[in-house]
Amino acid sequence: MSASIEIRNVTKRYGGLTVLEDISLSIAAGEFVVFLGPSGCGKSTLLRMVAGLEALDGGTIDLGGTRIDTLPPGKRGVAMVFQSYALYPHMTVAQNMGFGLENIGMAREDIARRVTAAADVLEIAHLLDRKPAKLSGGQRQRVAIGRAIVKEPKAFLFDEPLSNLDAALRGRTRLELAQLHARLGSTMIFVTHDQVEAMTLADRIVVMHNRRIEQIGTPMEIYRRPATRFVAGFVGTPAISILGVKAAELGPRGLTVDLGSAGVLQTRLQLPVAVPAAGGLEIGIRPEDVTVVPPGGDGIPARAEVVEHLGERTLVYARLPDGQQITAEADGRSTLRAGTEVKLRLDPDALHLFAADGRAFHVDAGGYDG
């Protein structure tokens, strides 16, 4: 039932404003792909072009080997779950779910069978005779998903379907969506600006920013080997710390960076010749790679400005003598308090190096992979 999706050189303009430029992307059959990016980067627009709700200004979209961007929405074999759910307010839950099947002239018994089956899966069988106004937010959400399931589409499209739920429900629904995908094995595209949703649900994440795709990769690739400074900064909570590089020198063992008051670090980073070893370079380091040294130990001096005791770990937002901010992690049992002086140690092999143009370099394999 699932089908691959091929997006080729797709461009979208609103008047003079280009929202998406030359986007290309292949999605395998049965894959769960998440479009991740800040608000306004064009995620919904791209999804709606797959659905047929927006016209393309260039490029093509194939679904299961058939070109669909010239077909009307209903003929594409996709189902969409809207952020607002878009349930028909005067129809019952059963009518909402069956409407699409009625429209293609399916027999009543077949519709009833599919609706009942989907309602059982989603545990909304007892709600079938209710109108949407009499449902809670979470129940409406299930109906919207049910309306998509009964169509047995080649691909599911989700536009921020969890953003109207409260935190607890969001977590649970996220899990259920993952289970649903595992069971149906359908191709799914899921749009979100929430990186936790993206990290937990996706087979692959498509990070979008500024009209373009910044990076496509598995959640771990995106986190461990961000292709650009933007991706590194967008993914990960608390955010990666960025420090300016005063000077850098490429030696036989790798790059040595002078981080000013954060010290001089010898890394195993190898740089392609094209990148100038000085000027506009920055490094990024994640909080878990910056540790607070126990009292008496040796490290970079900093001042803890905010300390968050989270139980399993302690987050320390510190300021270096030259004014730069850095986030560090300490043991969960730490009794550290804000305002105290701490010593920090940076893991030199966990550094990400950012060139002036935003490209990122990493230690393990080195080089550029954007």
Partner 1 sequence: MAESWRRSQWRNGLFALPFLVTFAAFLVFPLIWGFWLSLHKVDLFGPGRFVGFDNYVKVLRDPQFRQALLNTLIFVATTVPTLVALGLFLALALNHLTRATAFLRGLFFASSVLSVTIVTLIWRIVFIPNDGLIALVFDHLGWAQIGFLSTKGWSLFSVGVATVWWCIGLPMMLFLAALQQIPVDHYEAAALDNANRWRVLTRITLPAIRRTVLLVAIIQVVMQFQLFGQAQLMTNGGPAGSSRPLVMYIYEVGFIRWEVGRAAAASEILFLIILCAAMIQYVVATRNQEGV
Ligand X SMILES: Nc1ncnc2c1ncn2[C@@H]1O[C@H](COP(=O)(O)OP(=O)(O)O)[C@@H](O)[C@H]1O
> What residues make contact with ligand X under the rule CB under 6 A?
14, 19, 37, 39-45
Which residue's C-beta sits nearest to Mg ion? Answer: 44
Using CB under 5 A as the criterion, which residues of the chain lie in contact with Mg ion when the complex forms? 44
For residues 156 and 354, which CB has a smaller minimum distance to ligand X in the complex? 156
Q: Which does 86 bind (CB under 5 to 8 A by kind): partner 1, Mg ion, ligand X, none?
A: partner 1
Under DSSP, the state recorded for 58 is: S
Q: Which does 41 bind (CB under 5 to 8 A by kind): partner 1, Mg ion, ligand X, none?
A: ligand X
CA nearest neighbour of 59 among 49, 48, 72, 51:
49
For residues 43 and 154, which CB has a smaller minimum distance to ligand X in the complex? 43
Contact between 99 and partner 1 by CB under 8 A: the answer reads yes
DSSP 222-281: HHHS-SBHHHHHHSSSSPPEEEE-SEEEEETTEEEEE-GGG-EEE------TTS-SSSS-
Instruction: Work out which of 90, 134, 268, 303 binds partner 1, going by CB under 8 A.
Output: 90
- Contact call for residues 244 and 285 (beta carbons, < 8 A): no
What gap in Å lies between CA 331 and CA 288, rounded to an integer?
Answer: 11
For residues 44 and 187, which CB has a smaller minimum distance to ligand X in the complex? 44
Stretch (H or E) spanning 314: strand 313-319
Contact between 74 and partner 1 by CB under 8 A: the answer reads yes
For residues 1 and 178, which CB has a smaller minimum distance to partner 1 in the complex? 1
Structure-token pair, residue 268: 């195993």
Q: Which does 257 bind (CB under 5 to 8 A by kind): partner 1, ligand X, Mg ion, none?
A: none
Q: Which does 340 bind (CB under 5 to 8 A by kind): partner 1, ligand X, Mg ion, none?
A: none
Whether the upstream peptide bond of residue 238 has omega within 30° of 0, thus cis, is yes
What gap in Å lies between CA 136 and CA 121, rounded to an integer?
Answer: 18
Q: Where are the alpha helices (DSSP H) in the chain?
A: 43-51, 93-103, 108-122, 137-149, 167-184, 195-201, 219-224, 229-234
Sole residue written with tokens 């000013």: 260
Stretch that binds partner 1, among 46-54, 204-212, 226-234, 355-363 (CB under 8 A): 46-54
CB of 178 to ligand X, least distance (A): 22
CB of 86 to partner 1, least distance (A): 4
For residues 49 and 300, which CB has a smaller minimum distance to ligand X in the complex? 49
CB of 10 to ligand X, least distance (A): 13
107 by DSSP, 3-state: which?
A: coil
CB of 43 to ligand X, least distance (A): 4
Residues interacting with partner 1, by CB under 8 A? 51-53, 72-75, 78-80, 82, 84, 86-91, 99-100, 103-104, 147
